[in-house]
Amino acid sequence: MDAVTTIDFSQLRFAGQLAHWVAAALLLVFFLTLPRFGAQRRLMPTWIAAWSALLVATTVPGLSALGALLGRPLVPDSLAILFDYLGFPAQVLFVLLVTLAAVQASGKRFTPSLIQAVVIGGALLALAVGVVDEFALAKRFMLLAMPLLFVGAAQLLFAAARGQRTRGMTFLAATMVIFAAVTTLFQVAPTTVFHRLAGDWLADRIASGHDFGMAVLVALLGAAVVVLVVQDSVLLAATAQEERLREVGASEDRLKRIIEAAGEAIVTVDPARRVVLANAAAGRLFRLPPAALVGRDLGRLVVPEGEPLTTAAAGQDGVLLAAGAWTGTGIRPNGTRFPAEVTTGPLPGDDGPAGGVAILRDLTTQLEAAAEREAFERQMAASEKMLAIGRVVSGVAHELNNPLTVVLGQSEQLSQVAVDLDARESIRLINEQAQRARHIVRDLLAFVRPGEDPGEPVHLTDLVQRVVTVQRPRAAERGVALRVEPGPEPVGVLANRIGMEQVVTNLLENGIDAAGPGGTVTVRLGTHAERGLVMVEDTGPGVDPLHQDRIFEPFFTTKKLGLGTGLGLPVSRALVERHDGTLVLENRPAPGIGARMVVTLERCALPDPPEPQPEAPVRCPPVRRRDTDDLLPVLIVDDESAVRTTIGRIFHFWEWPVLEVDSGEAAIALLAQTNPAAWPSVILCDLRMPGMGGQGLHAELVARFPALLDRLIFVTGDVVEPSTAAFLRSAGRPVVEKPFTIAEAAAVVSRMTSPH
């Protein structure tokens, strides 16, 4: 029985040594496979090195025990001797490394160089001690060092065990204390206490179970380290998750602040299109607190273009929640509507769309600005058109004024010498129509370049009757009835008579064209609020509402191509507005029964009609030389021979000597060859001529004949052209406007030649 028992306990000792070695190896493998994260990440190399040292210390005993159990040696003698010498230094390294790692886990910090120095120094010291005294002193060192180091490290761990790391650090500290106590007991007890108290038999049994106990202690210590590492890793993961949650919360708060600070109206909606979030700009857009928008259907706040405004359209989801931009109508709770531009996008969720986001903009200001820009562009285009027609009118006026000058001048001269009454009346009509043509040209010039026209008292009824009389044949030719309702009393207005005749003529011509065969045009006269009224109504189709805003634009016409220039109404309005009047279009009460043009002008008292006076010929006496009493000539400078002849006949009628030249160069040459005492007393010079015109002649007189400047009179048909008007103002010389009457020419010449 004793032999069997001895064999059993011997095998138990071998099994314990093997278990000690296997436990060290398994823990080393476990530490190698632990995840590299957590607070122990920087300590993992130290823990791995500690268990590597323990594995070195237990390798030879473990393999020897395995060989004993198998009945054959597994470790060569040379290797056993080597590991015997390395075993004690490895144990010392294990104790040092575990202690260093535990101290660092408690919060203490060591530099890598210090750890390296301690490890290398401890290993070398342990190796030297083991070689010198064959480990006798080493065993005593281990008896003192292990409790001292482990218990000291455990105290630091107990002190640092706070918060969520309490369990892991306390477990490690307690395990280190137990490991140090039990190991010391196993090393001391068999040779002291148990041999004296229990005898050799019990002491041998305890020694046989020593290695099993060490294996258990090593496993327990490793488990404590694992608990600490895992707990720190979990703690770090929880801290990281908490930090991420804080970052997400901060990001959400930042996003909310950005949305709130945005100038654009932003709303988010759930999959059912109900508003979940609305910023302050959205509240301002819909005239509600942002919180009051939450829960409302987006489809009732903004409706895509073309959808009914009363209810949300059934098929809007694809528009309201899809990515894109569209326009529509915003509907405020109070019922007001505004044009809106909407940019939408879906918000993805785990199981599909989680709703959407919409950015809304009120287009009212933008559309108003676009309308203003369009109006400005139209105005600029009209200005460019007016500039173009101004150039044309200026050229046409010059070309028309020359023949009109001839017609007016010749008709006036003929009317003064004609004896036959019928001939005199015909000449008077020619002169009157030439005067009208003259005023039409001036009105065109004034339209493109408005000037001041104070107007004069005009008998409105007589004026309208005269125009109607002229227009009746035209109306009859087109099958249109022309009627006049003069009103209960005569009406006097302040206006330009010829200009007002042109206005009424334009309105009647438009009315006749609009009424068509079988239609009627009615002219009504009256007063309202101290203003005279002229209303021209027709029974035509009226003006299309789409054209009402453009009817007074230059060059805009509703007539067929070739039947209208688009200038009649703009010129008429300009003529009326020049006298603080108005010209407006009114469609008659029922659609399709004609249009009404209404002219209003300031009313004034009509002067008493002048008593008829016999016409006396207008005369302007010639100027004589002081030394010889001879008559001084008039010099006419004009490139048009008919104009020169007409003006010359006027002065011949006044008994003036007349000199005629067709250019500024010829005039300068004539003056240079003439004795200054015989220089002309009056120089009538056209402004626009081939070669040297009026401006060039003026410059030559300033440079060569300054004494003749006071005798210079300009004759021109366009005094409103900007460059011409500027020159005339700077020159300061009298001007006779073509076409002119004999009286007008006589007045200018008399003022200049009469003694002061």
Instruction: Check residue 321 and give its pLDDT.
Output: 67
**pLDDT above 50 (res 3):** no
The backbone region for 266, taken as left when phi is positive above 0, alpha when psi lies in -120 to 50, beta otherwise, is: beta
Between CA 503 and CA 447 the distance in angstroms is 12
Cβ neighbour number for residue 703 with a 10 Å cutoff: 8
14 and 125 in one domain?
yes
Q: How far is CA 428 from the centre of its chain?
A: 67
- Angle at the Cα of 660 from the Cα atoms of 655 and 666, rounded to 5 degrees: 150
Query: Which residue's entry shows tokens 């408690």?
Result: 106
Residue 637 clears pLDDT 90, i.e. is over it: yes
Whole-structure pTM value: 0.44
**Phi and psi for 312 in degrees, rounded to 5?**
-70, 135
**Neighbouring C-beta atoms of residue 28, cutoff 10 Å:** 20
Report pLDDT digits (tens) over 606-636.
766 655 555 556 778 888 877 777 888 999 9
The residue type of 672 is A
Same domain, 680 and 577: no
CA distances from 745 to 275, 393, 409, 660 (A): 84, 24, 10, 17
How many domains, in total, are found in the chain? Answer: 4
Is 499 inside any structural domain?
A: yes
Please give the average per-residue pLDDT across 428-442, as a whole number.
Answer: 71
Separation of alpha carbons 389 and 457, rounded Å: 31
The span from the CA of 266 to the CA of 262, in Å, is 8
Using one digit for the tens of pLDDT, what is the confidence trace for 294-329? 888 888 888 887 665 544 444 455 556 677 888 888
In a domain, 171, yes or no: yes
User: Is 50 exceeded by the pLDDT of residue 425?
Assistant: yes
In-domain check, residue 628:
no
The confidence band for 449, taking pLDDT boundaries of 50, 70 and 90, is low
Query: pLDDT value at position 633?
Result: 92
Question: Which tokens hold the place of 492?
Answer: 């006097």
| Joined tokens for residue 132 | 């010198």
Contacts of residues 378-381 at CB distance under 8 Å and 24 or more positions apart, as own/partner, are 378/553
What tokens appear for 748 in the block? 């200018």
Mean pLDDT, to the nearest integer, of 98-115? 74
The verdict on residue 493 lying in a domain is yes
Mean pLDDT is highest, among 36-45, 302-311, 353-362, for: 353-362
pLDDT of residue 311: 45
Q: Identify the pLDDT of residue 601.
A: 87
CB count in 10 Å sphere of residue 105:
26
| pLDDT value, residue 315 | 44
531-538 vs 324-331, strand pairing mode? unpaired
Q: Pick from 179-193, 361-375, 487-501 the range whose average pLDDT is largest.
A: 361-375
Look-up: residue for tokens 């500024």? 664
What angle in degrees, to the nearest 10, is found between the helix axes of 77-105 and 166-188? Answer: 140
Mean pLDDT of 48-64: 74
**CA pair distance 90, 193, nearest whole angstrom:** 28
User: Looking at residue 522, which CATH number applies to its domain?
Assistant: 3.30.565.10
| Single residue among 548, 583, 602 that ends a domain in this structure | 602
- 420 in any annotated domain: no
Sheet of 595-602, strands arranged across: 481-485, 520-528, 531-538, 595-602, 582-587
DSSP letters of 273-288?
A: -BEEEE-HHHHHHHTS
Which of 98-102, 259-263, 508-512, 616-620 has the weakest average pLDDT?
616-620
Q: Which of 135-144, 347-356, 507-516, 695-704 has the lowest mean pLDDT?
A: 135-144
Contacts 24+ apart (CB under 8 A), 585-594: 585/543, 585/548, 585/551, 585/552, 587/542, 587/543, 587/545, 587/548, 588/537, 588/542, 591/542, 592/541, 592/542, 593/539, 593/542, 594/514, 594/515, 594/537, 594/538, 594/539, 594/540, 594/541, 594/542
Residue 666 lies in a domain: yes
Where residue 218 sits, what CATH number does that domain have?
Answer: 1.20.1070.10
Q: How confident is the model at residue 669 (pLDDT cuts 50, 70, 90)?
A: very high
91 and 153: one domain? yes
- Does residue 424 or residue 481 have the better pLDDT? 481
Please spell the DSSP secondary structure of 551-602, one letter per residue.
Answer: TTSTT---SPTTS--S-HHHHHHHHHHTTT-EEEEEE-SSTTS-EEEEEEEE
Specify the pLDDT at position 714. 92
Looking at residue 620, its pLDDT comes to 84
For the purposes of burial, counting CB atoms within 10 Å of the CB of 612, is it exposed (0-12), middle (13-18) or buried (19 or more)? exposed
Do 389 and 447 touch, CB atoms closer than 8 A?
no
Based on its alpha-carbon atoms, the radius of gyration of the chain, rounded to whole angstroms, reads 60
Residue 189, CB-side half-sphere exposure with 13 Å CA sphere: 18
- CATH classification of the domain holding 292: 3.30.450.20
Residue 648, CA distances (Å) to 163, 582, 645, 651, 690 in order: 124, 44, 5, 5, 21
- The per-residue pLDDT for 1 is 36
Tens digits of per-residue pLDDT, 548-573?
677 777 666 666 654 555 667 777 88
* Owning domain of residue 538: 452-602
Report which secondary-structure segment, H or E, holds 62.
helix 44-70
* Residues 560 and 680 reside in one and the same domain: no
The model's pLDDT over 195-217, given as tens digits with 9 standing for 90+, comes to 454 445 444 555 555 555 566 66
Tally of CA atoms within 13 A in the half-sphere of 211 that contains its CB? 23
Mean pLDDT of the region 141-146: 60
Same domain for 40 and 116, yes or no, is yes
Alpha carbon of residue 341 to chain centroid:
14
DSSP-H helix ranges across 71-198: 77-105, 112-133, 136-160, 166-188, 193-197
Structure tokens at 274: 């109900």
Residue 43 sits in the same domain as residue 191: yes
**If 0-12 CB within 10 Å is exposed, 13-18 middle and 19+ buried, where does residue 529 land?**
exposed
What percentage of the chain exceeds 90 in pLDDT?
6
User: With 0-12 CB in 10 A as exposed, 13-18 as middle and 19+ as buried, what is 27?
Assistant: buried
Q: Let me know whether 231 and 269 are in one domain.
A: no
C-alpha 565: how far from chain center: 41
Strand pairing category for 275-278 and 265-269: antiparallel
Same domain, 140 and 107: yes
Instruction: Give the relative orientation of helices 2-33 and 44-70 as an angle to the nearest 10 degrees.
Output: 150
Give the span between the Cα atoms of 528 and 600, in whole angstroms: 9
Find the helix packing angle between 497-515 and 460-477, rounded to 10°.
Answer: 30
| C-alpha closest to that of 405 among 749, 750, 742 | 742
Structure tokens at 80: 């056993």
Compute the distance between CA of residue 224 and CA of residue 219 in angstroms, rounded to an integer.
9
- Residue 641, domain member (yes or no): yes
Q: Which of 274, 269, 271, 273 is nearest to 353 (CA)?
A: 271
Residues 233 and 285 in one domain: no
pLDDT at residue 9 in the model: 46
CA gap 158, 434 in Å, rounded: 125
Note the maximum CA span of the chain.
187
Read off the DSSP letter of residue 686: E
Interior angle at CA 108, CA 106 and CA 113, nearest 5: 130
What's the pLDDT at 700? Answer: 92
Residue 441 to residue 160: CA distance in whole angstroms: 110
Per-residue model confidence (pLDDT) at position 695 = 92
pLDDT at 435 over 60: yes
Give the pLDDT score at 78: 65
**Is residue 669 in a domain?**
yes
CATH code, domain carrying 658: 3.40.50.2300
pLDDT at 168 over 90: no
Say if residue 109 is in the same domain as residue 193: yes
pLDDT band at residue 417 under the 50/70/90 scheme: low
Q: Give CA 448 to chain center in angstroms.
A: 38
* 3-class SS of residue 95: helix
Residue with tokens 């107990």: 158
The residues near 103 (Cβ < 8 Å, ≥ 6 apart) are 110, 153, 156
Of 336, 362, 388, the one marking the end of a domain is 362
Whole-angstrom distance, CA of residue 148 vs CA of residue 177: 10
Res 166 pLDDT > 70: no
Is 191 in the same domain as 100? yes
pLDDT tens figures, 242-270: 888 888 888 778 877 877 777 888 888 88
SS3 per-residue string spanning 496-557: CHHHHHHHHHHHHHHHHHHHCCCCEEEEEEEEECCEEEEEEEECCCCCCHHHCCCCCCCCCC
Q: 717, 659 in Cβ contact below 8 A? A: no
268: enclosing H helix or E strand: strand 265-269
Tell me the pLDDT of the chain averaged across its residues: 75
- Residues 212, 337 share a domain: no
pLDDT the model gives residue 635: 93
In the listed set 206, 238, 270, which residue is the last one of a domain according to the structure?
A: 238
pLDDT in tens, 65-86: 676 667 666 667 666 666 666 7
Q: What is the pLDDT of residue 589?
A: 59
Other C-beta atoms closer than 10 Å to the C-beta of 66 total 19
pLDDT at 685 over 90: yes
